[in-house]
Amino acid sequence: MRYLIFSDIHSNLEALEAVLTHAEGEGFDGMICLGDFVGYGANPDECVQRVASYEEASAVVGNHDAALLDPSERQFFNPVATAGILYSEDRLGEDSKAYLQGLPITLDFDGFMAVHSSPAFPEHWTYVLQPGEATEAFRSMIRPLAFIGHTHFPIVYTEDGFIKPFVPGDPVVVDSERKVLVNVGSVGQPRDGDSRAAYVIYDSEEHSVRIFRVEYDIDRAAAKILDAGLPPMLADRLRRGY
Ligand code: ZN
CA of 28 to the centre of ligand 1 (A): 24
Q: How many domains does the chain have?
A: 1
Cα(241) to centroid(ligand 1), Å? 13
CA of 7 to the centre of ligand 1 (A): 8
What domain range includes position 134?
Answer: 2-240
Across the chain, which has 242 residues, the per-10-residue mean pLDDT values are 98 98 97 98 98 96 97 94 96 97 96 96 92 91 95 93 82 88 97 97 95 98 98 97 93
What per-residue confidence (pLDDT) applies to 161? 77
Tell me the one-letter amino acid at 32: I
The CA 177 to ligand 1 mean position distance, Å, reads: 30
For position 71, what pLDDT does the model report? Answer: 95
What separation in Å is there between the alpha carbon of 62 and the centre of ligand 1?
A: 7
Res 98: pLDDT: 98
Total Cβ atoms within 10 A of residue 20 = 21
How many angstroms does the Cα of residue 198 sit away from the middle of ligand 1? 13
- Give the containing element (helix H, strand E) for 20: helix 13-26
Residue 188: closest CA among 4, 64, 10? 10
- Whole-number Å distance, alpha carbon 207 to ligand 1 midpoint, is 27
CA 52–ligand 1 middle distance (angstroms): 19
> To the nearest 5 percent, what fractions of the chain are helix, strand and coil?
35, 20, 45
Task: Tell me the CA–centroid distance for residue 152 and ligand 1, in Å.
Answer: 6
Return the CATH number at 164.
Answer: 3.60.21.10
Query: Ligand 1 centroid vs 203 CA: distance in angstroms?
Result: 25
Cα dihedral sign, 194-196-200-201: negative
| Distance from Cα 121 to the centre of ligand 1, integer Å | 17
Is the distance from CB of 183 to CB of 156 less than 8 angstroms? Answer: yes
Q: Tell how far CA 76 is from the center of its chain.
A: 19
